[in-house]
Amino acid sequence: MDFDANIEHLRIAYWNILLTAGPVLAVALAIGLLVGILQAATSINEATLSFVPKLAIVLITMALASGFMLSTMTDYFGYVFESIANIQ
């Protein structure tokens, strides 16, 4: 396997990481930012106020995006196993 093929495998792996984890991380970032702005505006510094909504919404996002994430990872691992089978 040459260097260009290895770089292509890494590129595909990083792209799949972005597709799989990206939606959940983006929602967590947006909710954390929104709660942080709300806490700064109201001067409420309660730790559970930032943790509980973020946890609930991230879990809901994971539940809604699980089908997409599973199909993405299934396709990727099918590609990886096919690549391993074709190594000479």
Q: What is the pLDDT of residues 7-35, one digit of tens each?
A: 999 999 999 999 999 999 999 999 999 99
- Domain total in the chain: 1
Q: Where in the sequence is the domain holding 68, given as residue range(s)?
A: 3-85
Model pLDDT, residue 5: 85
Q: What pLDDT, on the 0 to 100 scale, is given for residue 49?
A: 80
Give, in order, the Cα–Cα distances in Å from 46 to each of 23, 31, 33, 38, 51: 26, 15, 15, 11, 9
How far CA 17 is from CA of 39, 51, 57, 74, in Å, comes to: 32, 25, 21, 13
* pTM for this predicted structure: 0.79
Check whether 44 has a pLDDT greater than 90: no
